[in-house]
Chains A and B, each alone.
Chain A
């Protein structure tokens, strides 16, 4: 993470706003994510001049235009690859990728996978609204099976992918999830992502007011959401419910919802975000509403050398061993001969 430009200056969220008019629809979850991120960056007094936002194509990908940092609004699906180039060219920069479910997991699925497995030092925020919004309402790779859209009038026959599970499959070193309207929790997750060395992946359940309204109502409704979400805390058992009356227990290979009144607290699944084996986090990522409460917070946070560190490390090691490269030496490497 880069140092603040001037430690004596205290940034405010306004410092991260651009003069561009924000063009998302009223009620879109993107507004909240933008505001929370601006708050988080300001609170940390992040150096705007050493921060780069890279996006692809889609509603969420307009994000860089609204962040008073450096930025690239690129082409569909390719933001992780472009951001990898930025980070390798200058590892001092804080590089964020903003993507959506279609951009990141459909057209850009390949880059998503490989950026994560390399552990490039990027923060990837995936706005998951489970729909193609910018192209006006086709089903996306995260849409629920059977969803009726313009391109699936008889119901979608695609099974969805689950972003956190995909990231964990590529052994992401940091994975977290939040809901757009849960401002506090979203801020916590974004802060944690910011502090992570290596690829930090954050999925945000984001409401598309126009084409997929209420897709996440179960996760946002004040009256019921606590029954449908479980907040992950490292080292603590998985407990949820309006009155924290329910928990998650391991039963053989499966997880099950239990009532606390009927089981010993010792039987509950304890969350461990630091365990090297991604299987624990992957099991959490398989908890889907309505069968389970869906986990929110940090699934996994482990340390492993980053790609750019290893890349520059090899160069430094070679220079240490053989001295800095000289062109005349390079030119005359191998067999040479003289013509008089």
Chain B
């Protein structure tokens, strides 16, 4: 919880709960996967964002659509961090926890700060549910929750009571309990109800009874906070001072989809998105399927391989061609990505990484596909790789990936991850002037055309079928320089390997120099990439506030890497590479720059906590400064 800035009783009111002003608070909603926690969490997020807080979220849900009710395996959670200042992460531990059943309590209470607010649905603490959650004794009675401000509320009963007037059956009526819980939270954190009310009205416009029931439940939860004397304190988190502009809350996957549509619009070409459903990348497919007023051609393929291959075909025929997937799907696509490298066709492959190997942890986050992105194909097969660092950054990363693919006639891999893709934060809507230029120039002159000539960037011409006189054949066999004919001449193979490598190396002209947060040199540099940005930057900020000499660089480009990176690395005594894998960036840095590095690795399907990074900083700097 952020620092308390004031404590006051609002004037002119009956002596009610204290209002405590916070600069930041983290809240987690947890329940059974059928309890609607993801929905309630997204509503809390939207409301807080519209209220003006900076927000960051982290949904955590099981891979099973419907794990057995009430079990630990079925617990679904949604964490929101909201603040009156800029924040980079969903927060380590939470200030408030809503637990809709014993399993949710058991799985999450360890992350609740001592003295934190715990809202419990006491109706669900039955003998059966306690057993499913593997509680020998009822935690509501043992005193083990005395470290927290625990509030036992019969949420199910209260909800049924509140929605009686709608005439809904008990099953449908009880479904509204997530809105009741949300209402309690809204009261507790002094949030307005308007945004959620508006959402309910829109969502359930065709079933007025359900809309009414959800509204009533929300209002009843809020009123409960107001009238009960259970709560002695409520919290207020003021709006943040964000960069002026119009904002909207976006998940990383939504942002990536928007970025792709934007890129295709700027390039004035149709967008072709070929994809096979896979967690946690499917939302990109869903988002783009909604964009039918744009020329967005969505192809749900029969498998990952077909998705990538269709992308190659669409690229050959002149579309902005993109596929999205996650780890196992990426593995399946690799042979076809090699064909895209060989045929030098522009396309983007988005990998929203998840826990591996194999099926691994489908709904959990990891950064273990870096090697797969850079090294994962047969033969010498280089391609540009960049990674997004936060949900809203997916918009800019997708735009940049597309721009580079078209400029250099190459497949480009964009790495995202489950945490970034499914987390959300405010996105400042860009001015058209801020958007990059993306120019598409098709070959058109039959007199000068040869398929494998190159421009100054090393890119070959894009000659699309339908163009008079530019008939040519491409394929996966080695190409002769210039003509593109099949060629087995030894020297030619060497030359083509060199040309393809040089082309990808040339992307360096579009890679900005790396900036350093903190000092330009010193005892310790934190190095990160992708979705760990928030946690690592926050750790660096806090360490510096505490007087430690720590700097941080966060890589957007993994291939090629920024020109000045080697120099920066050599200016620090120690390099701490923080990544959610066992040292993939570390190996690349050691190999490329001959520097020693130390790694902070975490393979738990969860993002770094700021405290974990700070502990490591303390260790490396010999204790807190």
Q: Do A and B bind each other?
A: yes
Among B278-320, those with CB < 8 Å from A are 291-297, 299, 301-303, 305-307, 309-319
Give the interface of B toward A (CB within 8 A): 46, 49-50, 52, 195, 198-199, 239, 242-249, 258, 261-262, 265, 270, 272, 274, 291-297, 299, 301-303, 305-307, 309-319, 321, 335-336, 338-339, 343, 428-430, 432, 464-477, 485-486
Among A108-128, those with CB < 8 Å from B are 110-111, 113-114
Q: Are A85 and B475 in contact (CB under 8 A)?
A: no
Return the CB mask of A288-301 against B: 1 if under 8 Å, else 0: 00000000000000
Contacts of B262 in A (CB 8 A): 327
Contact stretch, chosen from A75-83, A155-163, A217-225: A75-83
Q: Are A49 and B477 in contact (CB under 8 A)?
A: no
Q: How far is the CA of A317 from the CA of B469 in the complex (A)?
A: 34
Q: How far is the CA of A74 from the CA of B429 in the complex (A)?
A: 41
Q: Are B306 and A337 in contact (CB under 8 A)?
A: no
Q: Are A332 and B246 in contact (CB under 8 A)?
A: yes
For residue B369, give the distance in angstroms from its CB to the closest CB of chain A: 22
Q: How far is the CA of A212 from the CA of B181 in the complex (A)?
A: 73
The contact sample of 13 A-B pairs, CB cut-off 8 A, is A49-B465, A51-B465, A64-B475, A71-B473, A72-B313, A73-B473, A84-B306, A85-B314, A87-B313, A89-B317, A90-B465, A92-B466, A331-B429
Q: How far is the CA of A88 from the CA of B271 in the complex (A)?
A: 11
Q: How far is the CA of A46 from the CA of B244 in the complex (A)?
A: 58
Contacts of A89 in B (CB 8 A): 270, 272, 297, 313-319, 321
Contacts of B471 in A (CB 8 A): 48-49, 68-70
Q: Which of B46, B50, B297, B302 has the most chain A CB atoms closer than 10 A to its own CB?
A: B302
Q: Are A93 and B470 in contact (CB under 8 A)?
A: no
- Which residue on B lies nearest to A90, using beta carbons? B317
- Which residue on A lies nearest to B309, using beta carbons? A81
Contacts of A82 in B (CB 8 A): 309-310, 312-313, 316
For residue A294, give the distance in angstroms from its CB to the closest CB of chain B: 30
Interface: A324 (CB within 8 A): yes
Number of A-B contacts (CB under 8 A): 212
Interface: A340 (CB within 8 A): yes
Q: Are A49 and B270 in contact (CB under 8 A)?
A: no
Interface: A20 (CB within 8 A): yes
Q: How far is the CA of A75 from the CA of B335 in the complex (A)?
A: 8
Known interface pairs A75-B339, A89-B313. Does A332 touch B305 (Cβ–Cβ under 8 Å)? no
- Which residue on B lies nearest to A66, using beta carbons? B473
Q: How far is the CA of A114 from the CA of B301 in the complex (A)?
A: 8
- Which residue on A lies nearest to B293, using beta carbons? A325
Contacts of A93 in B (CB 8 A): 317, 465-466
Return the CB mask of A206-245 against B: 1 if under 8 Å, else 0: 0000000000000000000000000000000000000000
Q: How far is the CA of A233 from the CA of B311 in the complex (A)?
A: 40
Contacts of A314 in B (CB 8 A): 292
- Which residue on A lies nearest to B469, using beta carbons? A49
For residue B322, give the distance in angstroms from its CB to the closest CB of chain A: 11
Interface: A164 (CB within 8 A): no
- Which residue on B lies nearest to A63, using beta carbons? B473
Apart from the given pairs A89-B315, A339-B245, 16 other A-B contacts in the complex at a CB distance below 8 Å: A48-B471, A49-B465, A68-B471, A72-B475, A82-B310, A85-B311, A87-B313, A88-B272, A90-B317, A90-B318, A90-B466, A93-B465, A110-B306, A315-B292, A332-B248, A335-B195
For residue A204, give the distance in angstroms from its CB to the closest CB of chain B: 21
Interface: A22 (CB within 8 A): no
Q: Which of A5, A57, A315 has the most chain B CB atoms closer than 10 A to its own CB?
A: A315
Contacts of A110 in B (CB 8 A): 302-303, 306
Contacts of B242 in A (CB 8 A): 339
Return the CB mask of A197-211 against B: 1 if under 8 Å, else 0: 000000000000000
For residue B562, give the distance in angstroms from its CB to the closest CB of chain A: 30
Contacts of B309 in A (CB 8 A): 74-75, 78, 81-82, 85, 111
Interface: A52 (CB within 8 A): yes
Q: How far is the CA of A107 from the CA of B97 in the complex (A)?
A: 52
Contacts of B468 in A (CB 8 A): 5, 49
Known interface pairs A81-B313, A85-B313, A327-B265. Does A65 touch B473 (Cβ–Cβ under 8 Å)? yes
Q: Are B293 and A337 in contact (CB under 8 A)?
A: no
Q: Which of A54, A86, A340 contacts B314 (CB 8 A)?
A: A86
Q: How far is the CA of A85 from the CA of B336 in the complex (A)?
A: 13
Contacts of A83 in B (CB 8 A): 313
For residue B533, give the distance in angstroms from its CB to the closest CB of chain A: 22
Q: How far is the CA of A335 from the CA of B195 in the complex (A)?
A: 8
Q: Are A85 and B246 in contact (CB under 8 A)?
A: no
Contacts of B305 in A (CB 8 A): 78, 81, 111
Among A40-65, those with CB < 8 Å from B are 48-54, 57, 64-65
Q: How far is the CA of A48 from the CA of B302 in the complex (A)?
A: 30
Contacts of A81 in B (CB 8 A): 301-302, 305-307, 309-310, 313
For residue B185, give the distance in angstroms from its CB to the closest CB of chain A: 18
Q: Are A54 and B246 in contact (CB under 8 A)?
A: no
- Which residue on B lies nearest to A77, using beta carbons? B305
Known interface pairs A85-B299, A330-B291, A335-B249. Does A49 touch B319 (Cβ–Cβ under 8 Å)? no
Q: Are A52 and B465 in contact (CB under 8 A)?
A: yes
Q: How far is the CA of A74 from the CA of B473 in the complex (A)?
A: 10
Contacts of A340 in B (CB 8 A): 244
For residue B404, give the distance in angstroms from its CB to the closest CB of chain A: 20
Q: Which of B49, B307, B473 has the most chain A CB atoms closer than 10 A to its own CB?
A: B473
Q: Are A49 and B467 in contact (CB under 8 A)?
A: yes
For residue B192, give the distance in angstroms from its CB to the closest CB of chain A: 12
For residue B308, give the distance in angstroms from its CB to the closest CB of chain A: 8
Q: How far is the CA of A227 from the CA of B38 in the complex (A)?
A: 69
Q: How far is the CA of A41 from the CA of B49 in the complex (A)?
A: 62
Q: Are A75 and B476 in contact (CB under 8 A)?
A: yes
- Which residue on B lies nearest to A112, using beta carbons? B302
Contacts of B299 in A (CB 8 A): 84-85, 88, 311
Return the CB mask of A2-42 against B: 1 if under 8 Å, else 0: 00010000000000001010000000000000000000000
9 tightest A-B contacts by CB? A85-B313, A73-B475, A85-B310, A318-B292, A89-B317, A325-B294, A325-B293, A81-B309, A114-B302
Q: How far is the CA of A111 from the CA of B301 in the complex (A)?
A: 9
Q: Which of A5, A48, A84 contacts B313 (CB 8 A)?
A: A84
Q: Which of B258, B315, B336, B343 contacts A330 (CB 8 A)?
A: B258
